[in-house]
Structure 1
Amino acid sequence: MKHRGIMFALIALITSPVFAATLSGAPRILDGNTIQIDKTTVRLSGIEAPETDQICLDAQGRKWACGVAVRDELIKHSNGRTWDCHTERVDEYRRALGSCFIEGEDINAWMVRSGLALSAGASHHTYLVYELAASTAHAGLWSGALIAPWDWPRRNRGTIIVGATSVPVDAQEVLLGSVLLSEPPSPECLIKGTVERRGERIYYLPGQPGYEQIGMTKKRGERWLCSEAEAEATGWRKAVP
């Protein structure tokens, strides 16, 4: 019985959501929230950046591929340098959740301070002061208008538009337009993701059977993805021919 108890304790430890670890290396940046170091996918905790399919409005009220822009700003800031990430647990997509640093600089905080992400989750209070400073300075996303990243996938007529002091009067109409994502946000983001009947998130590569039949404006949950690594890290599965 004693050995059986030890065995069950080990199984519980292995399958526990706790994932305490320290990772170091130059990452592959998949989006403003997600990176990969070696074979481990890390999701920056306490913040929400736009996913690569999100569209915002810039300071002039023009449509702006803010999700791709945020990812590119993070790549630019990283500049091939080594990251140190401290993770504590995993999320529903088996991504390690944690905070990352470049030469001692807190990247989670830098994202919010630069207006490239919003403070969110259990660590909301940790980064809220940076969000207030960024919004006051109209930095990054706060220069125009946007839908909060956590509301973007479920956006509807009741969704609140946030942003600069003077949000364009037609901001909601533009950001909720049915044809908003009929074209990819960037020429590199050509992978189509669609939600099947059973709720399964499937992605199709250009040239795959069924790719051309996905209209990208017909079903809620359809979105453009920029790479297979991004798709798989955020819970999408490749369509089987």
Structure 2
Amino acid sequence: MSQKRIRICRTDGLPQPTYYVQALQTEFAPWAFCEKRSVLNKGQWATQVFADSSSAPIDLEIGTGNGIHFAHYAEQNPKRNLIGIEWKFKPLIQSIRRALNHGAKNARIVRYDAGFPDHLFAAGELDRVMIHFPDPWPKEKQKKHRLINDAFLTTLFKLQKKGAELEFKTDNRDYFDWAMECFERSAYQQTSITYDLHNSDYQSENFVTHFEKIFLKQGLPIHRATFQVPG
């Protein structure tokens, strides 16, 4: 993964910062971390950031979007800590603001390239990981930009505790098949899979995300798989 380049502009290098850029560094700074501050917490999220609940598991949502699932998850799991990764300023602020409005004091969010989780977390620091509807990069020349690849999964696997879970959802069948091949080559152990989540036995345990609602209205089936770190 070290050969890849981080695809994110510096927060402090923007000539005309918007409200959302400024909010990241001021109003929401106690709960939202720019790329510079994010990496300083590697290996210390429990003690430095979640000091009041340092023994609680730390879960990760990669790509929070506007934060509907992010806020819901944090609110419904008060005994777990949640960190979101989002690189776009507006949805980042929307996510943490929504969580705080829900009364979720266990939520934090970072602005970073999700392809480099090892810049943010130490080995075994993470528990559950959720990856919902990442950019499918559908064109053949774009597939090299897909988040799910062999190197990414090798890295992420090391960051999760033994017994930790991972959930992956997408509406794109080609990306799903691609991802399943990557997972098959990885050290993860598959625990469930469905190519039509909303017509499966897993529907009752699913929370419908913002993008998920859009895809369902378009008549697209939702593909979902879950995995576990053995041990």
TM-score by structure 2 length?
0.32
TM-score by structure 1 length?
0.31
Structure with greater Cα Rg? 1
Q: Which structure carries more strand by proportion?
A: 1
Q: Which structure carries more helix by proportion?
A: 2
